[in-house]
Amino acid sequence: MHNSKSYKISFIILIVILLSCFFINISLGSVNIPLKDIVNSLFGGETSLKPWEHIVINYRLPKALTAIIVGSGLGISGLLMQTLFRNPLAGPFVLGISSGASLGVALVILGSGIFGGFTTLMLASKWSIIIAASLGSFLVLLAVLMVSLKVRDTMVLLIIGLMFASITASIVSILSYFGTAEQLQQYVFWGFGSLGNLAWDDLSVLFVIYILGIILSVFSIKSLNTLLLGENYAKSLGLNIKQSQLLIIITTSILAGVITAFTGPIAFIGLAIPHITRQVFNTANHKVLLPAVFLFGAIVMLICDSIAQLPTSDLTLPINAITAIVGAPVVVWLLIRKRSMMF
């Protein structure tokens, strides 16, 4: 729209920051690899030590790419939720999508002990976890959508999301009671969130579904902008409300669901990133916000991941802890500064 020139500069700056964060993220880790060797291994040159190339290509590079996918995907799904539910507090985490995914995963990992079957003695496979998490998040979003068609008050939706989180927590604790120690550990580790567990072939699956979600989100832009006026105005502008709602819900559940499935529930990114973005890009136009949220999400996630791996030490903190430590103060700061949250 107007003053698109100043946006262009902001976008260029953000892209430069993103690339810098990407390289910084790759160059940091438990093993200290000189920058020259990092560049060489990325661009197919010779590295001083053979293992270094392996670390960069097979561990750090997929992890950095996962961070970009997770940050941008969750940020965009948060943006979609905030506009759809006309609520600045909406996000994949708040509305219970992550709870749904957790429940699905808990049923698969822990439930195998109760329900028996051939997986009793085995730990749940990676793919069954991924499918369970996707299904769980999709079902919750569908439930939220159905409720949203019944009740006008969006506050009710948030409360229902919270209630769903409690139900999930209690079911999980019941399941844990019957689960074995190994199963329990597997579930808890999934709940920490992790960007580093994805090998190239996992990443390619995540990437394909993520791209599908991104394409769908681009197709939602017009509906999202129209929905800024509220449903009645949107309808008077010829928008098919039901169809748009469905498109946005499906887009969110694909993005948030698949990311949660692969990396575990990652808190606060979906809620905080759209608000940070609105501070910089002073517009409500989703054609600007969507790519901006994409960039901000990717940048913040790369930074969080860099912090999580505690440079120069062997320890890696759960990514979920870092995103909450970064995200929650941002939300508090926004609330105090603006005294209200907009979407």
Binding site for other proteins (CB under 8 A): 1-2, 83, 86, 218-219, 221-222, 225-233, 235-240, 278, 283-285, 287, 342-343
Which one-letter DSSP state was computed for residue 117? S
For other proteins, the closer of residues 32 and 236 by Cβ is 236
For other proteins, the closer of residues 46 and 232 by Cβ is 232
Minimum separation from the CB atom of position 297 to other proteins (A): 19
Minimum separation from the CB atom of position 254 to other proteins (A): 19
For other proteins, the closer of residues 123 and 221 by Cβ is 221
Alpha carbon distance 214, 303 (integer Å):
22
Minimum separation from the CB atom of position 97 to other proteins (A): 22
Minimum separation from the CB atom of position 17 to other proteins (A): 24
Alpha carbon distance 300, 252 (integer Å):
20
Minimum separation from the CB atom of position 140 to other proteins (A): 23
Q: Which of 61, 7, 68 is nearest to 294 (CA)?
A: 68
Minimum separation from the CB atom of position 41 to other proteins (A): 39
Q: Which of 299, 41, 66 is nearest to 200 (CA)?
A: 66
Q: Which of 153, 157, 154, 172 is nearest to 99 (CA)?
A: 172
For other proteins, the closer of residues 159 and 215 by Cβ is 215
Other residues' Cβ atoms within 10 Å of the Cβ of residue 93: 27
Alpha carbon distance 318, 315 (integer Å):
10
For other proteins, the closer of residues 129 and 290 by Cβ is 290
CB 175 within 8 A of CB 181: no
**CA distances in angstroms from 23 to 10, 27, 244, listed in the order given:** 20, 6, 38
Minimum separation from the CB atom of position 128 to other proteins (A): 37
Alpha helices in 151-284 (DSSP H): 154-178, 181-192, 200-219, 221-227, 231-236, 241-263, 269-280
User: Which stretches does DSSP call E strand in 56-181?
Assistant: none
**CA distances in angstroms from 290 to 225, 295, 340, listed in the order given:** 11, 9, 22
For other proteins, the closer of residues 167 and 237 by Cβ is 237
For other proteins, the closer of residues 44 and 238 by Cβ is 238
